[in-house]
Amino acid sequence: MESGKENSKILKNKYIPTAEFYSQIIDSLQDYSIFTIDNDFNINSWSSGSTKIFGYEADEVIGKPFDIIFTEEDLSGDIPGKEIKIAIKDGRATDNRWHIAKDKSLFYAYGLVFPLIGLDGEMLGFVKILRDLTDRKKSEDAIKNYIRELEELNTHKESVLAILSHDLRSPLAAIIGTSKYMKENFRKMKPEAVQEMLDLLYKSSTDELDMLDYLVEWARIKYASHVFTPSKINLTDYIDKVFDTLNETALIKAINLHHEIEANTSVFADGKMLISIIQNIVSNALKHTDKGGEVSVFAKKEEDKIIIQVKDTGVGMSKEIMDKLFTPQVKTLSETRKKNGGAGIGLLLVKGFLEKNGGKIWVESIEGKGSSFYFTLPIEEPAYKVGSSDEIIFDESA
Protein backbone atom coordinates (compact mmCIF):
# COMPACT_ATOMS: atom_id res chain seq x y z
CA MET A 1 0.00 0.00 0.00
CA GLU A 2 2.87 2.37 0.80
CA SER A 3 4.22 1.88 -2.75
CA GLY A 4 0.89 2.92 -4.26
CA LYS A 5 0.83 6.11 -2.17
CA GLU A 6 4.36 7.02 -3.32
CA ASN A 7 3.41 6.55 -6.98
CA SER A 8 0.37 8.69 -6.40
CA LYS A 9 2.57 11.48 -4.99
CA ILE A 10 4.90 11.23 -8.00
CA LEU A 11 1.96 11.54 -10.39
CA LYS A 12 0.61 14.50 -8.44
CA ASN A 13 4.02 16.23 -8.56
CA LYS A 14 4.67 15.42 -12.26
CA TYR A 15 4.86 18.61 -14.39
CA ILE A 16 2.32 18.80 -17.18
CA PRO A 17 3.26 21.51 -19.76
CA THR A 18 0.64 24.17 -20.29
CA ALA A 19 -0.36 25.91 -23.51
CA GLU A 20 1.55 28.94 -22.27
CA PHE A 21 4.70 26.81 -21.91
CA TYR A 22 4.48 25.66 -25.54
CA SER A 23 3.77 29.23 -26.64
CA GLN A 24 6.95 30.39 -24.87
CA ILE A 25 9.00 27.72 -26.65
CA ILE A 26 7.60 28.76 -30.05
CA ASP A 27 8.26 32.43 -29.33
CA SER A 28 11.86 31.65 -28.37
CA LEU A 29 12.57 30.34 -31.88
CA GLN A 30 13.51 33.71 -33.38
CA ASP A 31 15.01 32.23 -36.55
CA TYR A 32 11.70 30.60 -37.47
CA SER A 33 8.31 31.95 -38.41
CA ILE A 34 5.59 29.75 -36.89
CA PHE A 35 1.92 30.57 -37.27
CA THR A 36 -1.41 28.81 -37.64
CA ILE A 37 -4.28 29.33 -40.05
CA ASP A 38 -7.90 28.30 -39.71
CA ASN A 39 -9.96 26.27 -42.15
CA ASP A 40 -10.74 29.44 -44.10
CA PHE A 41 -6.96 29.94 -44.52
CA ASN A 42 -6.89 33.04 -42.32
CA ILE A 43 -4.04 33.55 -39.84
CA ASN A 44 -5.16 32.96 -36.22
CA SER A 45 -1.83 32.87 -34.34
CA TRP A 46 1.51 34.58 -34.97
CA SER A 47 4.86 33.95 -33.24
CA SER A 48 7.42 36.60 -32.34
CA GLY A 49 9.77 34.91 -34.84
CA SER A 50 7.16 35.62 -37.51
CA THR A 51 7.20 39.30 -36.53
CA LYS A 52 11.01 39.36 -36.73
CA ILE A 53 11.10 37.76 -40.18
CA PHE A 54 8.03 39.33 -41.83
CA GLY A 55 7.83 42.66 -39.95
CA TYR A 56 4.11 42.33 -39.16
CA GLU A 57 2.91 42.59 -35.56
CA ALA A 58 0.38 39.94 -34.51
CA ASP A 59 -2.57 42.38 -34.52
CA GLU A 60 -1.71 43.38 -38.11
CA VAL A 61 -2.06 39.88 -39.56
CA ILE A 62 -4.42 37.87 -37.36
CA GLY A 63 -7.63 37.42 -39.32
CA LYS A 64 -5.88 38.16 -42.63
CA PRO A 65 -5.52 35.54 -45.43
CA PHE A 66 -2.18 33.75 -45.16
CA ASP A 67 -1.46 34.43 -48.84
CA ILE A 68 -0.16 37.91 -47.88
CA ILE A 69 3.28 36.32 -47.43
CA PHE A 70 3.42 35.10 -51.06
CA THR A 71 4.75 37.00 -54.08
CA GLU A 72 2.47 38.12 -56.93
CA GLU A 73 4.01 35.47 -59.16
CA ASP A 74 3.21 32.69 -56.66
CA LEU A 75 -0.31 34.02 -56.11
CA SER A 76 -0.96 33.97 -59.85
CA GLY A 77 0.15 30.34 -59.86
CA ASP A 78 -2.08 29.53 -56.83
CA ILE A 79 0.92 28.30 -54.81
CA PRO A 80 -0.87 28.83 -51.42
CA GLY A 81 -3.80 26.68 -52.56
CA LYS A 82 -1.49 23.99 -53.94
CA GLU A 83 0.44 23.87 -50.64
CA ILE A 84 -2.76 23.29 -48.70
CA LYS A 85 -3.93 20.54 -51.08
CA ILE A 86 -0.62 18.69 -50.79
CA ALA A 87 -0.64 19.07 -47.00
CA ILE A 88 -4.14 17.56 -46.80
CA LYS A 89 -3.26 14.75 -49.21
CA ASP A 90 0.21 13.81 -47.92
CA GLY A 91 0.09 15.09 -44.34
CA ARG A 92 2.65 17.84 -45.06
CA ALA A 93 3.93 20.10 -47.83
CA THR A 94 7.45 21.51 -48.12
CA ASP A 95 9.06 24.01 -50.44
CA ASN A 96 11.85 26.53 -50.93
CA ARG A 97 10.74 29.86 -52.33
CA TRP A 98 10.83 33.64 -52.11
CA HIS A 99 8.34 35.26 -49.70
CA ILE A 100 7.34 38.89 -49.27
CA ALA A 101 7.63 40.86 -46.02
CA LYS A 102 5.62 43.85 -44.79
CA ASP A 103 8.09 46.35 -46.32
CA LYS A 104 7.77 44.52 -49.69
CA SER A 105 11.32 43.14 -49.41
CA LEU A 106 11.81 39.51 -50.39
CA PHE A 107 13.54 36.71 -48.54
CA TYR A 108 14.22 33.09 -49.42
CA ALA A 109 12.85 30.49 -47.01
CA TYR A 110 12.40 26.80 -46.42
CA GLY A 111 8.71 26.24 -45.68
CA LEU A 112 6.68 23.47 -44.11
CA VAL A 113 2.88 23.33 -43.73
CA PHE A 114 0.87 20.52 -42.13
CA PRO A 115 -2.72 20.00 -40.97
CA LEU A 116 -3.65 20.68 -37.34
CA ILE A 117 -5.86 17.79 -36.17
CA GLY A 118 -7.99 17.88 -33.00
CA LEU A 119 -8.30 15.11 -30.37
CA ASP A 120 -11.42 13.77 -32.06
CA GLY A 121 -9.83 13.81 -35.51
CA GLU A 122 -11.44 17.04 -36.62
CA MET A 123 -9.55 19.47 -38.88
CA LEU A 124 -8.69 22.57 -36.85
CA GLY A 125 -6.59 24.31 -39.47
CA PHE A 126 -2.93 24.28 -40.48
CA VAL A 127 0.50 25.10 -39.09
CA LYS A 128 3.02 26.97 -41.27
CA ILE A 129 6.73 27.01 -40.37
CA LEU A 130 9.34 29.01 -42.29
CA ARG A 131 13.09 29.33 -41.89
CA ASP A 132 14.89 32.27 -43.51
CA LEU A 133 17.58 30.94 -45.85
CA THR A 134 18.26 34.16 -47.78
CA ASP A 135 21.96 34.31 -46.88
CA ARG A 136 22.46 30.68 -47.84
CA LYS A 137 20.54 31.14 -51.08
CA LYS A 138 22.62 34.18 -51.98
CA SER A 139 25.85 32.31 -51.21
CA GLU A 140 24.76 29.39 -53.38
CA ASP A 141 23.78 31.78 -56.17
CA ALA A 142 27.09 33.61 -55.89
CA ILE A 143 29.00 30.35 -56.30
CA LYS A 144 26.91 29.25 -59.28
CA ASN A 145 27.18 32.69 -60.90
CA TYR A 146 30.95 32.68 -60.37
CA ILE A 147 31.22 29.29 -62.09
CA ARG A 148 29.03 30.53 -64.93
CA GLU A 149 31.13 33.68 -65.32
CA LEU A 150 34.30 31.59 -65.54
CA GLU A 151 32.69 29.49 -68.28
CA GLU A 152 31.57 32.66 -70.10
CA LEU A 153 35.03 34.19 -69.81
CA ASN A 154 36.52 31.11 -71.42
CA THR A 155 33.97 31.33 -74.26
CA HIS A 156 34.62 35.06 -74.65
CA LYS A 157 38.38 34.45 -74.72
CA GLU A 158 37.90 32.05 -77.65
CA SER A 159 35.59 34.54 -79.37
CA VAL A 160 38.04 37.42 -78.93
CA LEU A 161 40.87 35.29 -80.30
CA ALA A 162 38.70 34.39 -83.30
CA ILE A 163 37.91 38.05 -83.95
CA LEU A 164 41.53 39.12 -83.57
CA SER A 165 42.79 36.34 -85.84
CA HIS A 166 40.16 36.68 -88.55
CA ASP A 167 37.69 39.56 -88.26
CA LEU A 168 40.42 42.12 -87.53
CA ARG A 169 43.52 40.59 -89.09
CA SER A 170 42.01 39.80 -92.49
CA PRO A 171 40.59 43.29 -93.22
CA LEU A 172 43.80 44.85 -91.88
CA ALA A 173 45.81 42.73 -94.32
CA ALA A 174 43.54 43.97 -97.13
CA ILE A 175 44.08 47.59 -96.04
CA ILE A 176 47.84 47.09 -96.02
CA GLY A 177 47.75 45.37 -99.42
CA THR A 178 45.64 48.11 -101.01
CA SER A 179 47.83 50.86 -99.51
CA LYS A 180 50.97 49.14 -100.77
CA TYR A 181 49.53 48.84 -104.29
CA MET A 182 48.61 52.55 -104.33
CA LYS A 183 52.03 53.53 -103.00
CA GLU A 184 53.79 51.63 -105.76
CA ASN A 185 51.41 52.49 -108.63
CA PHE A 186 49.86 55.82 -107.72
CA ARG A 187 51.45 57.87 -110.56
CA LYS A 188 50.20 55.55 -113.29
CA MET A 189 46.73 54.93 -111.85
CA LYS A 190 43.60 56.51 -113.31
CA PRO A 191 41.72 58.94 -111.02
CA GLU A 192 38.67 56.65 -111.02
CA ALA A 193 40.75 53.71 -109.76
CA VAL A 194 42.37 55.88 -107.07
CA GLN A 195 38.95 57.05 -105.91
CA GLU A 196 37.64 53.46 -105.80
CA MET A 197 40.59 52.28 -103.72
CA LEU A 198 40.34 55.27 -101.36
CA ASP A 199 36.66 54.48 -100.82
CA LEU A 200 37.59 50.87 -100.07
CA LEU A 201 40.31 51.94 -97.63
CA TYR A 202 37.96 54.30 -95.85
CA LYS A 203 35.21 51.70 -95.48
CA SER A 204 37.61 48.97 -94.33
CA SER A 205 39.23 51.34 -91.82
CA THR A 206 35.93 52.49 -90.32
CA ASP A 207 34.72 48.88 -90.11
CA GLU A 208 37.91 48.00 -88.22
CA LEU A 209 37.39 50.90 -85.84
CA ASP A 210 33.78 49.88 -85.21
CA MET A 211 34.88 46.34 -84.44
CA LEU A 212 37.58 47.59 -82.05
CA ASP A 213 34.99 49.75 -80.30
CA TYR A 214 32.78 46.68 -79.84
CA LEU A 215 35.69 44.72 -78.41
CA VAL A 216 36.63 47.49 -75.99
CA GLU A 217 33.05 47.74 -74.73
CA TRP A 218 32.76 43.96 -74.56
CA ALA A 219 35.93 43.73 -72.48
CA ARG A 220 34.61 46.50 -70.24
CA ILE A 221 31.68 44.28 -69.23
CA LYS A 222 33.84 41.38 -68.19
CA TYR A 223 37.05 42.89 -66.94
CA ALA A 224 36.37 46.45 -65.78
CA SER A 225 33.58 46.01 -63.25
CA HIS A 226 34.83 49.01 -61.27
CA VAL A 227 33.40 51.34 -63.92
CA PHE A 228 29.90 49.97 -63.34
CA THR A 229 28.03 52.80 -61.59
CA PRO A 230 24.25 52.27 -61.72
CA SER A 231 21.86 54.94 -60.46
CA LYS A 232 18.24 56.07 -60.79
CA ILE A 233 17.99 57.72 -64.22
CA ASN A 234 15.28 59.10 -66.47
CA LEU A 235 14.75 56.69 -69.36
CA THR A 236 13.35 59.28 -71.78
CA ASP A 237 16.49 61.44 -71.47
CA TYR A 238 18.57 58.55 -72.75
CA ILE A 239 16.10 57.65 -75.49
CA ASP A 240 16.21 61.27 -76.69
CA LYS A 241 20.04 61.29 -76.70
CA VAL A 242 20.12 58.20 -78.90
CA PHE A 243 17.43 59.63 -81.20
CA ASP A 244 19.47 62.82 -81.62
CA THR A 245 22.46 60.70 -82.67
CA LEU A 246 20.49 58.52 -85.10
CA ASN A 247 18.03 61.11 -86.40
CA GLU A 248 20.08 61.88 -89.54
CA THR A 249 20.21 58.17 -90.46
CA ALA A 250 16.45 57.93 -90.02
CA LEU A 251 15.85 61.04 -92.16
CA ILE A 252 18.03 59.73 -95.01
CA LYS A 253 15.91 56.57 -95.15
CA ALA A 254 12.66 58.48 -94.50
CA ILE A 255 12.04 56.31 -91.43
CA ASN A 256 9.67 57.60 -88.76
CA LEU A 257 11.70 57.28 -85.54
CA HIS A 258 9.70 58.02 -82.38
CA HIS A 259 8.94 56.87 -78.84
CA GLU A 260 5.79 56.78 -76.74
CA ILE A 261 7.30 56.76 -73.23
CA GLU A 262 6.01 58.91 -70.36
CA ALA A 263 8.38 61.67 -69.31
CA ASN A 264 8.75 60.50 -65.71
CA THR A 265 9.68 56.89 -66.55
CA SER A 266 12.87 55.98 -64.69
CA VAL A 267 15.12 52.93 -64.35
CA PHE A 268 18.04 51.90 -62.16
CA ALA A 269 20.99 51.31 -64.49
CA ASP A 270 24.47 52.38 -65.53
CA GLY A 271 24.05 55.40 -67.82
CA LYS A 272 26.88 54.61 -70.25
CA MET A 273 25.71 51.04 -70.62
CA LEU A 274 22.11 52.18 -71.13
CA ILE A 275 23.17 54.49 -73.98
CA SER A 276 25.02 51.59 -75.61
CA ILE A 277 22.04 49.24 -75.16
CA ILE A 278 19.51 51.63 -76.73
CA GLN A 279 21.83 52.78 -79.51
CA ASN A 280 22.74 49.24 -80.57
CA ILE A 281 19.12 48.06 -80.71
CA VAL A 282 17.67 51.16 -82.39
CA SER A 283 20.50 51.47 -84.95
CA ASN A 284 20.09 47.78 -85.73
CA ALA A 285 16.34 48.37 -86.28
CA LEU A 286 17.06 51.30 -88.62
CA LYS A 287 19.58 49.22 -90.55
CA HIS A 288 17.04 46.49 -91.26
CA THR A 289 14.06 48.74 -92.00
CA ASP A 290 13.37 49.81 -95.57
CA LYS A 291 12.81 53.41 -96.67
CA GLY A 292 9.51 54.87 -95.48
CA GLY A 293 9.30 52.40 -92.59
CA GLU A 294 8.89 53.01 -88.87
CA VAL A 295 10.91 52.35 -85.70
CA SER A 296 9.03 52.89 -82.43
CA VAL A 297 10.04 52.59 -78.79
CA PHE A 298 7.55 51.79 -76.02
CA ALA A 299 7.83 51.10 -72.30
CA LYS A 300 5.54 49.64 -69.67
CA LYS A 301 5.87 48.96 -65.96
CA GLU A 302 5.56 45.39 -64.72
CA GLU A 303 5.98 44.90 -60.96
CA ASP A 304 9.51 46.05 -60.07
CA LYS A 305 10.81 46.47 -63.62
CA ILE A 306 10.32 48.38 -66.87
CA ILE A 307 9.89 46.47 -70.15
CA ILE A 308 11.18 48.46 -73.14
CA GLN A 309 10.12 47.47 -76.66
CA VAL A 310 11.92 48.57 -79.85
CA LYS A 311 9.60 47.74 -82.74
CA ASP A 312 10.42 48.06 -86.42
CA THR A 313 8.63 47.41 -89.73
CA GLY A 314 11.73 45.86 -91.27
CA VAL A 315 12.65 42.58 -92.93
CA GLY A 316 12.10 40.41 -89.86
CA MET A 317 13.93 37.20 -88.97
CA SER A 318 13.50 33.46 -89.18
CA LYS A 319 13.23 31.35 -86.02
CA GLU A 320 16.65 29.87 -86.77
CA ILE A 321 18.25 33.31 -86.70
CA MET A 322 16.37 34.35 -83.56
CA ASP A 323 17.49 31.21 -81.70
CA LYS A 324 21.16 32.12 -82.29
CA LEU A 325 20.85 35.89 -82.08
CA PHE A 326 22.22 36.38 -78.55
CA THR A 327 24.60 33.42 -78.49
CA PRO A 328 26.76 33.70 -81.64
CA GLN A 329 29.13 30.80 -82.12
CA VAL A 330 32.83 31.48 -82.72
CA LYS A 331 32.69 30.06 -86.25
CA THR A 332 29.82 32.35 -87.26
CA LEU A 333 31.22 35.65 -85.99
CA SER A 334 32.78 36.50 -89.34
CA GLU A 335 29.59 35.70 -91.25
CA THR A 336 27.54 37.75 -88.79
CA ARG A 337 29.79 40.72 -89.26
CA LYS A 338 29.68 40.55 -93.05
CA LYS A 339 25.89 40.20 -93.20
CA ASN A 340 24.84 42.86 -90.72
CA GLY A 341 27.82 45.06 -90.00
CA GLY A 342 28.63 43.71 -86.57
CA ALA A 343 25.10 43.48 -85.18
CA GLY A 344 25.86 40.00 -83.81
CA ILE A 345 28.68 41.34 -81.65
CA GLY A 346 26.60 44.43 -80.81
CA LEU A 347 23.71 42.32 -79.54
CA LEU A 348 26.10 40.17 -77.53
CA LEU A 349 27.34 43.40 -76.01
CA VAL A 350 23.76 44.48 -75.27
CA LYS A 351 22.99 41.15 -73.60
CA GLY A 352 26.07 41.45 -71.41
CA PHE A 353 25.23 45.01 -70.37
CA LEU A 354 21.64 44.08 -69.55
CA GLU A 355 22.67 41.12 -67.42
CA LYS A 356 25.12 43.37 -65.60
CA ASN A 357 22.21 45.72 -64.83
CA GLY A 358 19.86 42.93 -63.71
CA GLY A 359 17.87 42.85 -66.94
CA LYS A 360 17.31 40.48 -69.85
CA ILE A 361 16.54 40.66 -73.57
CA TRP A 362 14.45 38.69 -76.04
CA VAL A 363 13.04 39.14 -79.54
CA GLU A 364 9.83 38.46 -81.44
CA SER A 365 9.84 38.60 -85.23
CA ILE A 366 7.96 37.61 -88.38
CA GLU A 367 9.84 37.43 -91.66
CA GLY A 368 8.79 40.29 -93.92
CA LYS A 369 6.78 42.04 -91.21
CA GLY A 370 9.39 43.36 -88.80
CA SER A 371 10.83 42.64 -85.38
CA SER A 372 10.34 43.69 -81.76
CA PHE A 373 13.26 43.63 -79.34
CA TYR A 374 12.26 43.62 -75.68
CA PHE A 375 14.54 44.26 -72.72
CA THR A 376 13.99 44.81 -69.02
CA LEU A 377 15.62 47.02 -66.40
CA PRO A 378 14.88 47.37 -62.68
CA ILE A 379 13.02 50.46 -61.48
CA GLU A 380 14.75 50.66 -58.11
CA GLU A 381 18.09 49.46 -56.78
CA PRO A 382 17.59 45.77 -55.91
CA ALA A 383 17.94 44.96 -52.21
CA TYR A 384 19.60 41.77 -53.42
CA LYS A 385 20.15 40.14 -56.77
CA VAL A 386 18.17 37.02 -57.56
CA GLY A 387 20.46 35.16 -59.93
CA SER A 388 19.36 33.49 -63.09
CA SER A 389 20.85 30.26 -61.77
CA ASP A 390 18.91 27.05 -61.58
CA GLU A 391 16.54 26.64 -58.66
CA ILE A 392 18.32 25.44 -55.54
CA ILE A 393 16.55 22.83 -53.44
CA PHE A 394 17.54 22.64 -49.80
CA ASP A 395 16.98 19.58 -47.65
CA GLU A 396 14.67 19.88 -44.67
CA SER A 397 17.52 19.65 -42.19
CA ALA A 398 18.93 23.00 -43.41
**If pLDDT is split at 50, 70 and 90, which confidence band does 258 have?**
very high
CA distances (Å), origin 124, targets 26, 120, 310: 19, 10, 54
Q: What span, in angstroms and rounded, lies between the C-alpha atoms of 90 and 369?
A: 52
In DSSP terms, which residues pair with 115 in a beta bridge? 126
pTM recorded for the entire structure: 0.50
- H-type alpha helices, the chain: 2-13, 19-28, 48-54, 58-61, 72-76, 79-90, 134-162, 169-185, 191-223, 235-252, 271-287, 319-324, 333-340, 343-356
Residue 126 amino acid letter: F
In DSSP terms, which residues pair with 309 in a beta bridge? 298, 374
Strand order in the sheet with 106-117: 43-46, 32-37, 123-132, 106-117, 93-100
The two beta strands, 230-234 and 266-270, are: antiparallel
Contacts of 388 (CB under 8 A, 6+ apart): 355, 360
Q: Pick 386 or 360 by higher pLDDT.
A: 360
pLDDT digits (tens, 9 = 90+) for 19-73: 454 455 555 555 678 888 898 899 888 887 888 888 889 889 899 998 888 988 8
Tell me the domains of the chain and their CATH numbers. 2-132 (3.30.450.20), 139-378 (3.30.565.10)
Contacts of 54 (CB under 8 A, 6+ apart): 33, 61, 69, 99, 101, 102
Q: What is the DSSP letter of 64?
A: S
pLDDT digits (tens, 9 = 90+) for 302-334: 888 999 999 999 999 888 888 878 765 444 444
